[in-house]
Amino acid sequence: MLGCRYTEGMHSRVRLVAIDIDGTLLPSAAQVVSARNAQALRAAQHAGIVTAIATGRRMAYTAPLLESLGLRADTPIISSNGAVTKTLDGQAIDRCHMEAWVARGICGLLRPFGALVFTFDKPGRGELAIEDIDQLQGRIALWVEANRRAIEVFKPLELAFSNGDDPIQGMVTGSIEKMREAERVLKASEWGSLCESARTEYGAKGLSILDLLPRGVSKGWALAQLAGRLGIDRRETMAIGDNWNDVAMFEWSGQSVVMGNAAPDLRAYARTKGWKLAKTNDEDGVAIALEAVLKKLPAGAA
């Protein structure tokens, strides 16, 4: 496994770091952030680095993981792959919607490829709209159980948009090959220019998720928006992640760190781009990356 080499090419001090959750901040077999990673997050904030979380999860599925870590209440959370940005204590920063008529069209196009879910930015039942809960339980049973109180079933799924409600995000899940095919079909269709897609792959599980987003939206877009609001130059940003839905963030950031547990083809792509390769999520790769950044700060910097 390649280790980190963080000293090369870093000419700007890091003032903003965006960190993915699954496969990055979290270990492979748990839903609890390790003590070392948690300490590194707090140390970065104490040093004056804006420490943002950037995840494909929706806000309600993200905040409970972070609430016990001792992070600042104004910690930015980029959720739903960039569609919604709020602070940890729930203050709104940015929000984007996919138009309902686009979501309806995508239903018809992608239904043959796997289980579809649409997310709405509202609390409680109906936040997640699905068509076939049994199909989802066969693929992502743990996710279904964790989110059951937010799920409402619509048959057909298009009925979820009958009141003109615009979702913030959609997703279709299935095998890796099916989702790669679904992405190709989407991009070649009339809907491809009306929304964005971000693919996440879990090779060990043979599972992939294709996230469907409002046009122009990605983790990279949301990070750029956040940096602009904070007056932070792109060269002063860092992104840490492990999957293909992090690539837009890597492409935009001044410094990009790809986890050692990322898929081989993503690690190979990272090498061609000159991005750094970190230790794995099970080796506290996030903490190691942040500790290296902190060591480079001037004495007393905060």
- Of the three residues 183, 214, 245, the one that is the final residue of a domain is 214
Say which CATH number the domain at 176 has: 3.30.1240.10
CA gap 87, 45 in Å, rounded: 14
State the total domains in the chain: 2
Q: Is the pLDDT of residue 56 over 50?
A: yes
- pLDDT value at residue 141: 81
| Predicted confidence (pLDDT) per residue in 7-24, tens digit | 334 457 999 999 999 999
137 plus 150 within the same structural domain: yes
Residue 159 inside a domain? The answer is yes
- pLDDT value at residue 142: 81
- Of the three residues 194, 214, 234, the one that is the final residue of a domain is 214
CA gap 285, 22 in Å, rounded: 13
CA gap 54, 153 in Å, rounded: 28
DSSP summary character for residue 49? -
Distances (CA, A) of 135 to 111, 204, 295: 12, 20, 48
CA gap 16, 51 in Å, rounded: 6
Q: What is the pTM of this model?
A: 0.90
Residue 192 inside a domain? The answer is yes
Residue 10 inside a domain? The answer is no
300 confidence band (pLDDT: 50, 70, 90): low
Residue 2 inside a domain? The answer is no
User: Taking the CB of residue 33, how many other CB atoms lie within 10 A of it?
Assistant: 22
Residue 188 inside a domain? The answer is yes
Mean pLDDT (the chain) is 92
210 plus 104 within the same structural domain: yes
Q: Is the pLDDT of residue 175 over 80?
A: yes
Mean pLDDT within 61-74? 95
- Of the three residues 190, 214, 238, the one that is the final residue of a domain is 214
CA-closest candidate to residue 181, choices 167, 169, 195, 199: 199
Mean pLDDT within 239-260? 97
Q: Is the pLDDT of residue 5 over 70?
A: no
Q: Domain residues for 113?
A: 100-214
Longest dimension (CA), the chain: 60
